[in-house]
Amino acid sequence: MIPSLFNTGLFSKPPTGGTVGGWKELGRTTLGSTADSIDVSSLADKRYLMCLNDFKPSGATQNFQRFNNDSGSNYAYRLSDNGGADATGVSQANNYWYGYGTSGIPEFTVAYIANLSANEKQSIQSTIQQNTAGAGTAPQRREGVNKWANTTSVIDQITMINTGAGDFNTGSELVVLGWDEADTHTDNFWEELANVTAVGGTETFETDTFTAKKYLWVQAWIEGDTTNRGLDLYVNSDTAANYSQRYSDNGAADGTATSIKQMLYGGGNSTTEKFFMNAFIINNSANEKLGIAHVHNLITAGAATAPTRRETVGKWANTSSQITKVGFKNREATTGQNITAGSRLVVWGSD
């Protein structure tokens, strides 16, 4: 299983007594000039790894990833772009990893890796590419799984490799985090920025203003009343049409929405919305804010009805400010569904 933020449970506060460790930064490389590789080495042995990749291409790039400098035919991958048919690669010299590599277009990827030495190393990745700037164009997305067929070593080095004509641009960054059940450290990467519970009876539900951080992790349990409108994530109390999205429900073909008033769709316009959202956002002030979310919507209680799922990416077309507030609101501008008491919103962040 992928560990929760802290093994004391979802929505819990960071440990203070040194008895339980959370996600710890193991290594980071930020490019000071253009290059064809980003290398993070000397990684500590951790059972699970999380990678955060702030990628800025210069020219056309082809993005691959390698573990422990292994260039043998020991990798395989499966990926889908924008909800399309899967592409696969086997017996590869690298994992086909992050993004699209379009010159000047920022990308953001979050990946989890299971890192037990005796098993093949399995990873899950989600990527958003900004696409053309502005709320009038929907972002692009990639979902992928990869493996390194090594059953004797743990990962102690991760290298991003470009085989295209361009470069990884200055400021591109790879951050590698680790988690292990035996950890007892207190220097956690993720800091709790906001933790609020809804009082109910309102069409909006926001955090207070929090300290701006480059990386944000948003976890929310949202319940609506019986009016059919939908409840979605927005930022900085901006309710203007400054957002765009790409999304898929239950594996269906992607839909897009541009020049809209919400960054990430939450509920599915159901009359009985109860959904859990797990989302990550790259929060660079000079770039559009890019978000990746996975949503589980209960719809109907009981084991006789399957829940619904949504994969969505979205952007806030603001290039002058950082996100310092997150909220959920009714999809309709003035009337519709209220957010019920007990709905919960937690924001974690780190630079």
209 shares a domain with 154: no
135 shares a domain with 69: yes
299 shares a domain with 161: no
The tens digit of pLDDT for each residue in 301-334 reads 788 888 889 999 999 999 999 999 999 988 765 5
227 shares a domain with 127: no
CATH number at residue 61: 2.60.120
Q: Nearest Cα to 84, choosing from 144, 136, 36?
A: 144
343 shares a domain with 223: yes
Q: Which residues span the domain enclosing 236?
A: 191-350
52 shares a domain with 173: yes
The tens digit of pLDDT for each residue in 86-104 reads 999 999 988 876 666 777 8
For residue 4, pLDDT beyond 60: no
Q: How many CB atoms lie within 10 A of CB 80?
A: 18
| Domain-located, residue 3 | no
The last residue of a domain, from among 179, 199, 226:
179
From residue 117, alpha-carbon distances to 45, 211, 296 in Å are 9, 38, 32
| Domain-located, residue 153 | yes
Residues of the chain above pLDDT 90, percent: 67
| Domain-located, residue 1 | no
240 shares a domain with 174: no
210 shares a domain with 128: no
Q: Are strands 75-81 and 63-67 parallel, antiparallel or unpaired?
A: unpaired
The last residue of a domain, from among 118, 150, 179:
179
Rounded distance, CA 181 to CA 21, Å? 8
Number of domains in the chain: 2
The last residue of a domain, from among 179, 205, 237:
179
Rounded distance, CA 276 to CA 345, Å? 10
Q: Nearest Cα to 204, choosing from 159, 234, 168?
A: 234
264 shares a domain with 121: no
168 shares a domain with 210: no
285 shares a domain with 200: yes
For residue 2, pLDDT beyond 60: no
- Binning pLDDT at 50, 70 and 90, where does residue 181 land? confident
Segment holding 78, helix H or strand E: strand 75-81
- Binning pLDDT at 50, 70 and 90, where does residue 20 land? low
91 shares a domain with 213: no
| Domain-located, residue 19 | no
pLDDT for 12:
43
| Domain-located, residue 216 | yes
| Domain-located, residue 322 | yes
Mean pLDDT over 1-30 rounds to 60
**Could you give the dihedral angle defined by the CA atoms of residues 75, 147, 189 and 58, in that order, rounded to the nearest 10 degrees?**
40
| Domain-located, residue 13 | no
From residue 25, alpha-carbon distances to 94, 124, 279, 316 in Å are 24, 19, 19, 27
| Domain-located, residue 40 | yes
- Binning pLDDT at 50, 70 and 90, where does residue 226 land? low
Half-sphere exposure of 320 (CA within 13 A, CB side): 1
